[in-house]
Amino acid sequence: MIINILHLYPKNMNLYGDHGNMLALKRRLEWRGYEVNVIHHDPGDELPEDIDIIFGGGGQDSGQTVVEDDLKIIAPKLKEFIENGTPTLVICGLYQLFGNKFVTYEGHEIEGAHILDISTTGGEVRLIGNVLIDTPDFGEVVGYENHSGLTYLGDGVKPLGTVITGDGNNGKDKTEGVIYKNCIGTYLHGPILPKNPKITDFLISKAIEKKTGKAEALKELDDTIELKAHEVSSKRPR
């Protein structure tokens, strides 16, 4: 079976090790015997029809401006994918752009894709450091944040988790990230997936379930190294 992974804007939105998330997805699929086809989508490219997992990383404000127009074009199709249950992970910059709007600190408004019911404003101070959150779906999740955007959730979504250490979405309400259907948005770099295999396997299992039409238990993997990386990261000071 071939699993098609759509990588959104790898040239413009790929900061702080986010490409490692693609490697984690690819390797954990291959270790289970699946063939993986990674499709890079850059501004101006045509969006493919056959997609099993969607991923997009973080980028500077300048990078977000570059992809803004293209994202508006493909947003309806992306929304259709996500509404139909396609597992998705978007980090930092693309997490912000999947929302309704992002207003920079200088006051420039970037219209979002209106896929997630969130809005973001640029803050005066960057929120930087190690993060530990508690999630109802994946237990403790670790990562690293580096953002000035302050994101607030609307009524149509729920947070990925509650902040134990760090700032999360906005440094005020103790929320971090968002989860809507099978779409996860988060500020956690690091990258997030190698250190949190439960999230990786969630995306994989939902992709296989959607492709085959039935839920199946994934083949167990030896996660000794991944869990050790998680443990070490969870004990790092802010």
Helices (H), the chain: 19-30, 61-83, 92-97, 192-195, 197-212, 224-234
Tell me the C-alpha distance between 42 and 228, whole Å.
35
Tell me the C-alpha distance between 144 and 187, whole Å.
8
- Tell me which amino acid residue 162 is: T
| Tokens coding 160 | 């990925």
* Catalytic one of 92, 147, 183, 230: 92
CB 195 within 8 A of CB 212: no
Neighbour count for residue 74 (Cβ, 10 Å): 19
Nearest-CA neighbor of 39 among 24, 31, 50, 30?
50
CB 97 within 8 A of CB 71: yes
Q: What is the side-by-side order of every strand in the sheet holding 178-180?
A: 35-41, 2-8, 53-56, 88-91, 183-186, 178-180
> 108 catalytic, yes or no?
no
Tell me the C-alpha distance between 231 and 238, whole Å.
15
Nearest-CA neighbor of 144 among 49, 56, 40, 237?
237
> 189 catalytic, yes or no?
yes
* Catalytic one of 7, 41, 147, 189: 189
Would you name the residues annotated as active-site residues?
92, 189
